[in-house]
A and B are shown apart, each in its own frame.
Chain A
Amino acid sequence: ETGVTQSPTHLIKTRGQQVTLRCSSQSGHNTVSWYQQALGQGPQFIFQYYREEENGRGNFPPRFSGLQFPNYSSELNVNALELDDSALYLCASSPPRTGSYNEQCFGPGTRLTVL
């Protein structure tokens, strides 16, 4: 158990709809990153939030957006869903950037299916 939780566990949507996925970070972790993992592939970085501001973005279109809240929980929003958005969405939290240790702790993921 990493202390990182995600909800919901599974979600089914249809093309064109919008979805919000949620993540609760491990206590004391002020950085959260979101990754998309398509079936049979490694996770791909979507974006990262640090102290409630976006701090880096991968090669994903603007319809992927996020928020981080003062309690370090986070949301991933995806608008105008496409079939290719079907994937496992993983959130990872990491501790304050002090010292040389910077392990990312992953949640169990949300499985999104777009029909």
Chain B
Amino acid sequence: KQEVTQIPAALSVPEGENLVLNCSFTDSAIYNLQWFRQDPGKGLTSLLLIQSSQREQTSGRLNASLDKSSGRSTLYIAASQPGDSATYLCAVLRSSGSRLTFGEGTQLTVNP
């Protein structure tokens, strides 16, 4: 059974800081991994998707890496801004068309 863990559960940083969010999964046989952002009471916004054959993906100030063999992914946020405050969730897909298994998220607060 796939289990996904995110560390830390909560993080508070000053504006401008670079930060790393961590995600680990127990079964390395994954199809892809997605990072999502969720604002309070809202749905999920997909940030980055990494296929199992890829090592990283970048979008603007965001960079996600994937190490399947060690069961780890990181989301790097450069030059954080107050607007980045949200919960960040990672999720793994076991095979094409199957279910996503989510971690419990990291709640990020960026202070002005």
Contacts and interface: CB of A to CB of B under 8 A. Distances in A.
Contacts of A103: 32, 34, 46, 49
Interface string A45-85: 10010100001101000000000000000000000000000
A51 B12 CA distance: 44
Given A88-B41, A108-B43, A109-B43, A56 B34 contact: no
B44 A45 contact: no
A108 B99 contact: no
Interface of B: 4, 31-32, 34, 36, 41-46, 49, 51, 53, 89, 91, 93, 96-105
Contacts of B41: 88, 111
Nearest to B90: A42
25 contacts: A35-B100, A40-B104, A42-B89, A42-B91, A42-B104, A42-B105, A43-B44, A43-B100, A43-B102, A45-B100, A48-B98, A56-B99, A58-B99, A88-B41, A90-B43, A97-B97, A100-B51, A100-B53, A101-B51, A102-B31, A102-B93, A103-B32, A103-B34, A103-B49, A108-B42
Interface residues of A, number: 32
Contacts of B104: 40-42
Nearest to A105: B46
Interface string A26-47: 0000010101000011111100
A33 B99 contact: yes
B103 A42 contact: yes
Contacts of B91: 42-43
